Structure 1
Amino acid sequence: MSTLIPPGMTRRLVVAALAGSAADLAGLGLIASAAWMITRAAEQPPLAALSVAIVGVRAFATSRGVFRYSERLAGHDVALRAQAATRERLYEALIPSGPLSHRGADLLSRMVDDTDAVQDLLVRCLLPAVAALVTGAAAVVIALFLLPAAAFALLAGLVVAGVLLPLGTAAASRRWSARLAPARADLAARVADLVHGSADLAAYGAKGEALAAGMAADDQLAALERRQARVSATAMLTGVLAQGLTVVAIVWICELSGTGPVATAVLALMSLVAFEPVLPLAGAGERLTGVLAALRRLADLRTVPPAVTEPAKPAQVPDGPLTIAVTGLVVRHGTRPPALDGVSFTLAPGHRVAVVGPSGAGKSTLLSALMRTVDYESGNITINGVEARDLASDDVRRLMTGLTQDPYVFQASFKDNLRLAGPEASDADLANAVRSAHLDQWADRTGWDTPLGEDGRTLSGGQLQRLALARALLFDPPVLLLDEPAEALDERTADSLMTDLLDATHGRTTLLITHRLRGLEAVDEILVLEDGHITQRGTHEALVSTNGYYRTLWQAEAMLHS
């Protein structure tokens, strides 16, 4: 529990619990004093005999609203802060984590629905339980002074409604509640597949099968929710029966003991009201089972091992022009053969190095190792002599970062997507980055505030890559890393983008991952990476004149463009 409550919020949670208890106690006092006043007035006493009760009714009625408002204000403040803190911790756990086996919709379900469980735990389980305990105890104590036998009857009814019934609903829901959250996540994932893959499903005639799978997931979720509804309805019915039978028993005990009408009315109505904060506990017991299952799902995400190991005491970030030295680098994914095996090269300040090679050669893995998004098994990556593993990974990415292979476009305006790389950048800075990426004419024609749509579906492939390049240039890291910037583009667009990119990176320390050779005459060195090894290195002219992968690929490209 202590890990869910944000620092400094414990006192406010206590205030919420006390305010909620005070509101229910005021309601109890309101009914008791009103019952006494009405029955006593029927005996036509002097008006002065009712003055205290009149004041009490007014005081309890007013204070109940004040206390309830205070409880809602403080309780929801703590709950919402706890929910936000839980999401923040989840973000912090997911960002440095390795590859996840969870589907995107499942992660979204955990991020949205399961984090709501923190709010439910505090607002719908903890605070109502405290208020019910305080109010029920106060009612029993008052009844004990008025008629001990009635107090025992009231205690028995409260135990049934506030203890046995919640335990029963929790036990009944435990059998299926652990499947409810995964069922929601599975339905969300299948709906996402239907929405995002509708064109492909229709093209290949798989729409019916996918729709049937989605309907099956919906039927499974509906069946679980029907069970939940039956448990809730049964719990509500049982609680109301316990309340009614307790009041009848108290009235019967009062009749047998010869209690006067005033005490009988006070005991009966007070007992009736004492159940108000207790009856919701049955639903809280049922909800608690689902909350605990959701919290376990969140804990499962937070235990995902990080992709890289952070140093206990990060070294100081090196200054000045940066020299990146890679020596004997070995990177392995799981138990598979090394993706990189003994890679060594140096990236000097102001130099541009291109890495080419066939698919699966380890090019993107090399960039991931440099950006500290994957750990390396052995070897070294040094930045001005400082080992990259001795630096915080965020510090490394501030020094070396850039364009990833699959840039993501958020459902926001073109300007806001640019500001991802420079939140404090001025409009002039944005314009310069867009101009360097040769996207300025499109931006002026379309509009800087134009929403780009989900996943950038309103952009062509070339525009998407140029937007990503503009981001990288706007961020302006000391070492610019570019991963397959012309991937999946047509020849004309790819050639144009590569020409603009090489022009924009002139004089910048740049590492370019590419499978295209056109324009590489402009870089200082080319590394040929095959099966995790550097098999060739040199300038474009030297590699073209030497037998090997580079010359073969150059000849193939020349034939393609002839």
Structure 2
Amino acid sequence: MRTFLRLSGLILPYWPSMLLAVMLGFLTVASNIGLMGLSAYLIASAALHPPVLDLMTAIVGVRFFGICRAVLRYLERYVSHDATFRVLGQIRVWFFAGLEPLAPARLLNYRSGDLLSRIVADVETLKNFYLRVLAPPLVALLVLLLMVFFLVRYEVKLGILFMLFFLGAGIGVPLLVKGAGRNAGRRLVEVKSRLNAHLVDGIQGMTEIIAFGQVKTLCGQAGGLSQELLALQRRVAGISGLSSALTGLLMNLAMWSVLVLTIPLVAAGKLKGIDLAMLALAVLSSFEAILPLAVSLHYLDESLAAARRLFHIIEAKPAVLDSAPTSGEKPQNYDLQVKGLRFRYNGLGPWVLDGLDLRLPEGGRAALVGPSGAGKSTLVHLLLRFWDYQEGSICLGGRMLNDYTQEHLRSLVGVVSQRTHLFNATIRENLLLAKPEASEEELRQAARRARIHSFIQSLPQGYDTYVGEGGFKLSGGQRQRLAIARVLLKNAPILILDEAASGLDPLTGQALMGEIDELMEGRTTLIITHNLRGLERMDQILVLDRGRVVQQGKEEMLLKQEGLYRQLWQISQDALPASS
């Protein structure tokens, strides 16, 4: 019930449109009743060969209701679908807005395909809630009241008889269908989600799947899920057919029952003979309002399952919360100080950072090195407030990092990461991500400083060239240069380089580091790297091992010591001949 009420609450901004759609639906069915009833009355009257003028009212009425039915049906569909699609648009924005604060900490356990399925397929499923669950019962209720009022004017028993058949088709059949379905709607949503997630993962990892010869395995798994989905869809189709048959049976029984009840009234002279066919066809046509109700509970089950999947994510508490709104004023300076920092990803896990200390003055350069798993990238996540630390402190410009809102803090930091994400858009659009209001000259200047402007100009479409999914139309070095250009365009005072040259060949990596040197000028810079070449330019080097700083100083000093840094440096030197 809670999920139902929450879904219903989402349409409150659009209730006038929804109410209008219900009224138009009611008037459409009423027009159909009028059309069929008057047509029967007209034919029955014409059989008695009255003067034509006596039939003019009925003739005009038939034309009127025929035109009204077509126009009202169009308007009902237009208004209801317009309102529904607006609601779905609002739900997508609401879901994405709720998803953003959860990234990345709370989304690590979800597959990207599953998240995509929720924001696309599950939201799309909710259209049935508004079109086939909420509106049809209201229309049917109004039609029931209209017909009972109309029939009791002829005979009270007619109204009671009609109400029994109408309620049987509108309530009894849906309950029977729900029992036969046994949560088929919920299972349908789950299987669709699993299939979508599986296919998205397969497409994203297609290169590896082909390389390791796992195409048949992937196809087999997808085929199994498809068969499961197909079985559920067949079941739903069978249930839908059963519901239509039962509704049709009750509809025809209602018509024949009305005839059985009214024929004696005609014989007794209590009812005009020309009204007999009118009443029968009016009853028959009124069941148009009942037809959507047969599978309404199935769609309700399906919609609630989809909604629960959405609410399950949105209701999660973000890992990081802004304690209080701030004015967004700039820090006095960009000194960075870390004291006794301790952090772990869950309360029972080991400490990833255990008592880390760091002081980086404004404009200073520091490098974090150490074996994999030492906690280097974790520190970056904490500096960007993707997670909050448990113990210790981080200060920026003399203020606690938690005093800054996440948005304000991230506006002060430019990041060049190992895996630069480029959207399937143009080079221009990817660069403008850093500064949407940037001018053309600013854009080109950033590209020149990143030494990629000439390459972009050599492309047939220049800055309007599409880079492909993930930027895979570009080489690794070109993607990294675009990342540098993006950071230059942002012009943030703090720079974080997380394995920026990792995965590149030595020549490209060396050229890129030269460009990064220019990027670091005048910025407070923190470099995370396994590559120890070029670190002689750092003001200080921090050597991390198991979350602790085991060595600290300039490279010249660290090489004189018998410690972890010298071991790592020696390993990198031994690898140089193999890399060249």
TM (norm. structure 1) is: 0.94
Deviations 1:238-263 (A, max 9, x none): 11111112111111211122243322
Deviations 1:385-425 (A, max 9, x none): 32222332122211224223322222222222222222222
State the partner residue of 1:332: 344
Q: Gaps (5+ residues) in structure 1? A: none
State the partner residue of 2:543: 528
Deviation at 1:373, TM superposition (A): 0.7
State the partner residue of 2:408: 395
* More moved, 305-314 vs 141-150: 305-314
1:382 is paired with a residue whose SS is strand
Deviation at 1:138, TM superposition (A): 0.9
Amino acid at match of 1:439: I
Give yes or no for the alignment of 1:197 onto 2:202. no
State the partner residue of 2:76: 71
1:412 is paired with a residue whose SS is coil
Deviation at 1:231, TM superposition (A): 0.7
Deviation at 1:558, TM superposition (A): 3.1
Give yes or no for the alignment of 1:318 onto 2:330. yes
Change (3 A) 1:273 1:6: closer
Amino acid at match of 1:299: F
Query: Conserved in 1, the CA contact under 8 Å of 2:26 and 2:139?
Result: yes
Q: How far apart in 1 are the matches of 2:447 and 2:236?
A: 54
State the partner residue of 2:319: 307
Q: In structure 1, which of residues 213, 229, 237 is the aligned counterpart of residue 237 of structure 2? A: 229
Amino acid at match of 2:286: A
Q: Gaps (5+ residues) in structure 2? A: none
Q: In structure 1, which of residues 269, 273, 278 is the aligned counterpart of residue 285 of structure 2? A: 273
Q: How far apart in 1 are the matches of 2:73 and 2:339?
A: 66
Give yes or no for the alignment of 1:470 onto 2:475. no
Q: How far apart in 2 are the matches of 1:146 and 1:271?
A: 13
Query: Conserved in 2, the CA contact under 8 Å of 1:174 and 1:289?
Result: no
Change (3 A) 1:477 1:68: farther
State the partner residue of 2:447: 434
1:377-456 → structure 2 map (5 Å cutoff): 377-446=390-459, 447-456=462-471
State the partner residue of 2:496: 481
* More moved, 121-130 vs 41-50: 41-50
- Taking only the aligned residue pairs, the percentage that are identical comes to 35
Amino acid at match of 2:313: L
Deviations 1:308-348 (A, max 9, x none): 12324446443454222222221111121111122222332
Give yes or no for the alignment of 1:263 onto 2:294. no
Query: Conserved in 2, the CA contact under 8 Å of 1:370 and 1:400?
Result: no
Give yes or no for the alignment of 1:168 onto 2:176. yes
Equivalent pairs, count: 562
Give yes or no for the alignment of 1:517 onto 2:532. yes
Change (3 A) 1:484 1:95: same
Give yes or no for the alignment of 1:502 onto 2:517. yes
Query: Conserved in 1, the CA contact under 8 Å of 2:421 and 2:470?
Result: yes
Deviations 1:196-219 (A, max 9, x none): 434433433333333222211111
Q: In structure 2, which of residues 553, 556, 560 is the aligned counterpart of residue 538 of structure 1? A: 553
Q: Considering only aligned residues, what root-mean-square deviation do their CA atoms show, in Å?
A: 2.2
Query: Conserved in 1, the CA contact under 8 Å of 2:341 and 2:356?
Result: yes
Q: How far apart in 1 are the matches of 2:182 and 2:510?
A: 60
Query: Conserved in 2, the CA contact under 8 Å of 1:82 and 1:118?
Result: no
State the partner residue of 1:158: 166
Deviation at 1:7, TM superposition (A): 5.7
Q: How far apart in 1 are the matches of 2:108 and 2:151?
A: 58
Change (3 A) 1:254 1:7: closer
Query: Conserved in 1, the CA contact under 8 Å of 2:84 and 2:131?
Result: yes
Amino acid at match of 2:118: R
Q: How far apart in 1 are the matches of 2:124 and 2:553?
A: 57
Change (3 A) 1:76 1:363: same
State the partner residue of 1:34: 39
Amino acid at match of 1:250: V
Change (3 A) 1:401 1:311: farther
Q: How far apart in 2 are the matches of 1:494 and 1:7?
A: 56
State the partner residue of 2:364: 351
State the partner residue of 1:561: 576
Change (3 A) 1:262 1:475: farther
Give yes or no for the alignment of 1:282 onto 2:290. no
Deviation at 1:483, TM superposition (A): 1.3
Query: Conserved in 1, the CA contact under 8 Å of 2:183 and 2:301?
Result: no
Give yes or no for the alignment of 1:552 onto 2:577. no
Query: Conserved in 1, the CA contact under 8 Å of 2:414 and 2:494?
Result: yes
Q: In structure 1, which of residues 11, 15, 22 is the aligned counterpart of residue 16 of structure 2? A: 11
Amino acid at match of 1:160: G
Change (3 A) 1:213 1:117: closer
Query: Conserved in 2, the CA contact under 8 Å of 1:328 and 1:380?
Result: yes
Change (3 A) 1:320 1:385: closer
* More moved, 55-64 vs 256-265: 55-64
Give yes or no for the alignment of 1:22 onto 2:34. no
Query: Conserved in 1, the CA contact under 8 Å of 2:494 and 2:525?
Result: yes
Amino acid at match of 2:36: I
1:146 is paired with a residue whose SS is coil
Amino acid at match of 1:99: L
* More moved, 181-190 vs 56-65: 56-65
Query: Conserved in 1, the CA contact under 8 Å of 2:29 and 2:69?
Result: yes
Query: Conserved in 1, the CA contact under 8 Å of 2:328 and 2:408?
Result: no
Change (3 A) 1:295 1:21: same
Amino acid at match of 1:185: S
2:188 is paired with a residue whose SS is helix
Q: How far apart in 1 are the matches of 2:390 and 2:246?
A: 62
Q: In structure 2, which of residues 75, 79, 85 is the aligned counterpart of residue 80 of structure 1? A: 85
* More moved, 82-91 vs 168-177: 168-177
Q: How far apart in 1 are the matches of 2:300 and 2:11?
A: 20
Q: How far apart in 1 are the matches of 2:179 and 2:394?
A: 55
Q: How far apart in 2 are the matches of 1:521 and 1:99?
A: 39
Deviation at 1:110, TM superposition (A): 1.1
Amino acid at match of 2:170: G
Q: How far apart in 2 are the matches of 1:518 and 1:454?
A: 32
Change (3 A) 1:453 1:238: same
